[in-house]
Chains A and B, each alone.
Chain A
Amino acid sequence: MSAWRDFWLRYRRKTSAMIGLVLLLFVMLVAIIGPWLVSADPWDIVVRPFLWPGEDPEFPLGSDVLGRDILSGIVHGSRVSLLIGLAATATALGVGVTVGAVAGYFRGWPDDILMRITELFQTIPTFLLAVVLVAIFKPSMLSIILVISAVSWPAVARLVRAEFLSLREREFVQSCVVIGMSETRIIFQQILPNCLAPIIVMSSILVASAILTESGLSFLGLGDPNLMSWGTMIGIGREAMRTAWYMSALPGIAIIITVLALNLVGEGLNDALNPRLKNR
């Protein structure tokens, strides 16, 4: 328990990390309870189109080109963005950690094969690959999650592999081999907990980049057509950019806040988790 306390004390020391945490908690709160407070369906046309923010207190953020409530869109969009960000990151972690752990622990030919595949994924520009993949599959929540995780696991794999390569040489791992521990147990129970810190830090950045990728896809019209995401909203607002810039700017701000919060939290985690590794 005191390890958690120490961690919290170190994390708290950095103002930017605390700002990030507060922003992130706010976004999460909006995503969790927000949809009950605004109109049930963000696709409903509820008011006249091109209503500017502040014109009508009932629709504080105005309406879009068809008269849909922008506040409702942003609130529902937060749920979509976070859900896709978290799910895609979880999938990417699952694949990346396994690939990296196996490659780094066993080295030799498993490493060669897995790393060639990883490099193959990494040589193609991430977003381009995502666009191509979504275009091939039908755009849906599931396919978008899979596509984003498909482009983000290689970074996890490389990180975990590097950690495993150095940790597996440590004597405590050899000592586990000597007592007859199975390889699965050594990998997941002994080594993996020792590289959690960099994985956690990377996860927060991955969630942020997943949100950006999803927004980009939706902006291009490659999002799930049934979901109101922030990217979809910017895409819709793009047509009226000159006359009603707020339609694109408001969801844009939401994206910036969320991504910034995640990055600040990631940086804070990095600082709070690393001294432990240093004065090990």
Chain B
Amino acid sequence: MSTQDAPVPAPLLAIEDIQVLFPVRHGTLRAVDGISLELQRGETLGLVGESGCGKSTLGKTIVGLVKPTRGSVKLNGVDIVGASRQELRRHRARMQMIFQDPYASLNPRLAVGRIIEEPLIVHNMGSRAERREKVLALAQRVGLHPESMNRHPHEFSGGQRQRIGIARALALNPELIICDEPVSALDVSVQAQVINLLVDLQREHGLSYLFISHDLSVVQHIAHRVAVMYLGKIVELSPRARLWSQPLHPYTRALINAVPVPDPEQPGLREHPLIEGEIPSSIDPPSGCHFRTRCPFAAAECAEREPPLRNITGDHWVACHFVERTADGGISAP
């Protein structure tokens, strides 16, 4: 590389060819099957898919809760999959996680102040008084009463518990937060509070999010780019607006059609063709394209060859044999 070149900013997070296999009784469960993604600073990448698509496992692999069978997870250019314990601890401070279940993700026996303080204790940050102060500031920022720090998690509502989880994740000033279905367990009005809080925090701290959810509307609301997963693979990756205006993969289109739109004027379910069946087991996924068993356009080729994730235009990637650039610069999709 010549010295004149402007330094290309390395992505904050780059995962390459991640594969997570679990041995099960009747074979191998292919939870994540060769996924590569990049995440820039200040960006929110949405990861959407139905149950069993491996989106949660991918999130846990990135933070190191699950060991990948293959592949690398690079944070600021450093691979943390093979990192030593000590190194891993240091990296963990820069990458935190918010969990789905605000009931299960907080230790029921500890006071909330202590729960938020723990990351600071673990990383020996500040004196007791300094930590106290930081906890109160965090609590205030996420919208918790500073007086409630001596109470236990069961005395809080679901939304407040999720705020506690967010405060704990923020304590170490991370650069990246993996949000694993952070609003799925919450009521609509509370869900909106938490989404708005996450958006505000991103702006204030320049945070990056990997936002994992089964709810396409939520992902479309919060993410800059969206990756659609199906049976352990990414089938489409695109900027948010493009995914809505020009979805290319038949699964993405089916997903968009299936989301019930809260507007009676919009074309309803009955007008759209629905895809049949349910997600097959990832223990023995279909050969070739995993989606072919439910795809209305499936042909012989789909069973024989697995479509790679290809760049179609700009930031738009899709894994389907039948998506092509046409001669006039347009895109033809099945």
Q: Select which of B99, B105, B108, B123 is within 8 A of A180 by beta carbon.
A: B123
A170 contact set on B, CB distance < 8 A? 104-105
Contacts known (A180-B119, A180-B122); A194 close to B108, Cβ less than 8 A? yes
B207 in the interface (beta carbon within 8 A)? no
A185–B171 Cα distance when bound, in Å, is 19
Q: How large is the interface on B (under 10, 10 to 19, 20 to 34, 35 or more residues)?
A: 20 to 34
Given A181-B118, A194-B109, A175-B154 contact (CB < 8 Å) = no
Q: Does A40 contact B (CB under 8 A)?
A: no
Q: Are B104 and A171 in contact (CB under 8 A)?
A: yes
Given A180-B92, A181-B122: A175 touches B108 (CB 8 Å cut-off): no
Kindly report which residue of chain B lies nearest to residue A183, judged by CB atoms: B85
Chain B residues whose CB sits within 8 angstroms of the CB of A193 once the complex forms: 109
Contact of A178 among B97, B101, B108, B123 (CB under 8 A): B97
Instruction: Report the minimum CB–CB distance from A31 to chain B (whole Å).
Output: 33
Indicate whether B227 reaches chain A with its CB closer than 8 angstroms.
Answer: no
Residues on A with C-beta less than 8 A from B171 are 179
Q: Distance (Å) between the CB of A241 and the closest chain B CB?
A: 52
Please tell me if the beta carbons of A179 and B119 are within 8 angstroms of each other in the complex.
Answer: yes
Question: Which B residue's beta carbon lies closest to that of A169?
Answer: B104
**Once the chains are docked, how many angstroms separate the CA of A170 from the CA of B105?**
7
User: Which chain A positions have C-beta within 8 A of B118?
Assistant: 176, 179, 181
Query: Using a Cβ–Cβ cut-off of 8 Å, how many residues does chain A contribute to the interface with B?
Result: 17
In the complex the two chains form, is A178's CB within 8 Å of B63's CB?
yes
A177-B96 Cα distance, complex, nearest whole Å:
10
Q: Does the CB pair B108–A179 fall under 8 Å? A: no
B65 contacts chain A at the CB level, 8 A cutoff: yes
Within 8 Å by CB of B107, from A177, A178, A180, A194, lies A194
**Closest chain A CB from B160 CB (angstroms):** 16
B172 at the interface (CB under 8 A from A): yes
**Interface check B64, CB cutoff 8 A:** yes
The contact string, 1 if C-beta is below 8 Å from chain A, for chain B 119-131, is: 1001100000000
| CA distance in complex: A190, B114 (Å) | 12
Q: Smallest CB–CB gap between B212 and chain A, Å?
A: 14
The minimal Cβ–Cβ distance linking A273 to chain B, given in whole angstroms, is 13
- Decide if B58 is an interface residue (CB 8 Å cutoff): no
Residues of A within 8 A of B60 (CB): 174
| Contacting residue for B100 out of A171, A185, A190, CB 8 A | A171
In-complex Cβ contact of B65 among A177, A185, A190, A194 (8 A): A177
Task: List chain A residues, Cβ under 8 A from B119.
Answer: 179-180
CB pair A180 B165 closer than 8 Å = no
**Binary contact track B49-80/A, C-beta < 8 Å → 1, others 0:** 00000000000100111000000000000000
B183 within 8 A of A: no
Which residues of chain A are within 8 angstroms of B89 by Cβ–Cβ distance?
180
Chain A 138-183 residues near chain B, CB threshold 8 A:
170-172, 174-182
Q: With a CB–CB cut-off of 8 A, which chain B residues contact A185?
A: 122
* Contact for B64 among A176, A177, A190, CB less than 8 A: A177
- Cα A185 to Cα B110 in complex, Å, equals 14
Partner-B contacts on A (CB < 8 A) = 170-172, 174-182, 185, 190, 193-194, 280
Give the 3 A-B residue pairs with the shortest CB-CB distance, closest first: A171-B105, A179-B119, A180-B92
